[in-house]
Amino acid sequence: MRYLPLTDADRRSMLATIGVPSIDSLYRDVPDAARLDAPIDGLPLHAGEMEVERAISAMAARNVPASDVPCFLGAGAYRHHVPATVDYLIQRGEFLTSYTPYQPEVSQGTLQVLFEFQTQVALITGMDVANASMYDGATACAEAVLMANRVTRRDRAVLSGGLHPHYRDTVRTLARFIGFSLDEAEADATGTEDLAARIDGQTSCVVVQTPSVFGHLTDLGPLAEACHAKGVLLIAVVAEVVSLGLLKSPGAMGADIVAAEGQSIGNGLNFGGPYVGLFAARTKHVRQMPGRLCGETVDVDGRRGFVLTLSTREQHIRREKATSNICTNSGLCALAFTIHLSLLGEDGFRKLAEVNHARAVRLADRLAGLPGVSVLNTGFFNEFTVRLDRAAAPVVDALAERGVLAGVPASRLYPERPDLADLLLVAATETVTDDDEDALLAALRETLR
């Protein structure tokens, strides 16, 4: 192909230099089940631009957009209303400065946004300091565990059974390649577990998600005391950041590190990404934080300005000596987050959370009145778990055929757990209407006959 500048000889030379026999061997860490051994059926090897647009558009039309039907999906990705102002403002020239802000004199727009973003994240999490964002909540969680290992000089992390399985898998991946151990509590839809009993002399941290993947709320105070009594850090994970507008902040409950997913504010579902990870910690641990941190200063003329305050240089040139190898941040998503939260303000953020909670409580009460449906949660924010009188996945499929996205079956997250097959995770945000609720109940009533 004329667009590929390397010859076969060039490729052989490069492979020989790095000591691998083939290009395929570069992907040996990717599981076989996730790799293709042939081109995808139905896709031509080449086509004109107009033909490609038509083919891709036809495939996209097979999707059911969450905005077009009653949607109760959650499980770590939530549909919220994003004001049109957000999309307009992120395109303003003031923000179209250098993406990687190594030269502050040409990056003031980007640096100020990140400074304001850090301030907002620190405020809503109740922590002392926040960094300039991460890739997403899952990688933020994994980096929090690595940070706890560095701070405590221990190598064993305890993971709550309520931690989202995608976050858990990300931590597992790092544990496998970096080399630390995990004590994983079994997924428990009832929300009852004794994590303090799992702490030992090698424990670096305990990781707890609240609200949990099943929607349960956790008072982190007693666990924080148990952790601190044994020199262990408590990592709080928040997958639904809007909950911080109503619930007691993780910092106020004693968390040492907070890792969160910020998608719900300023960012749409976007078919799973890009999202924006939030990361906050106590001041005493700031030099062990991953990523970068922006600060405020003055120039030689006394004018207010912004710079990169902390950024481990080794992460760019000597990876093996780096505090973290997360070398970038989700800058555009962080900008959208900052603008949306600024538009809401403190009162608006709280009101948004209250509306979410009220809508979910109303829906849970109505679902509990249906034959064949029982609500498991005694307390929740905007997502809860229901038990059906049959497997949840076929019910979800049947409702999708009727134009209702009823929620996420637990079997999709835990395919290895047949005992959870009858559980359905249901989320209700401010985007849910009375008509949406009526459609869900009518479809469920018909399907569960």
Instruction: Write down the pTM of the prediction.
Output: 0.91
Please write the tens of the pLDDT for every residue from 7-49.
889 999 999 999 999 998 999 889 889 988 888 887 778 889 9
CB atoms within 10 A of CB 292: 23
* Residues of the chain under the 70 pLDDT cut: 1-2, 98-99, 312-316
End-to-end CA gap in the chain? 59
Task: Tell me what pLDDT residue 1 has.
Answer: 52
Q: How far apart are CA 441 and CA 449, in angstroms?
A: 12
CB 239 within 8 A of CB 381: no
Task: Tell me what pLDDT residue 313 has.
Answer: 61
Q: How far apart are CA 122 and CA 33, in angstroms?
A: 41
Task: Tell me what pLDDT residue 316 has.
Answer: 66
CB 395 within 8 A of CB 388: yes
Task: Tell me what pLDDT residue 64 has.
Answer: 87
Q: Domains in the chain and their CATH numbers?
A: 66-81+345-447 (3.90.1150.10), 84-341 (3.40.640.10)
Q: Is the dihedral of CA 99, 290, 252, 211 positive or negative?
A: positive
Q: Under DSSP, is residue 404 helix (H, G, I), strand (E, B) or coil?
A: coil
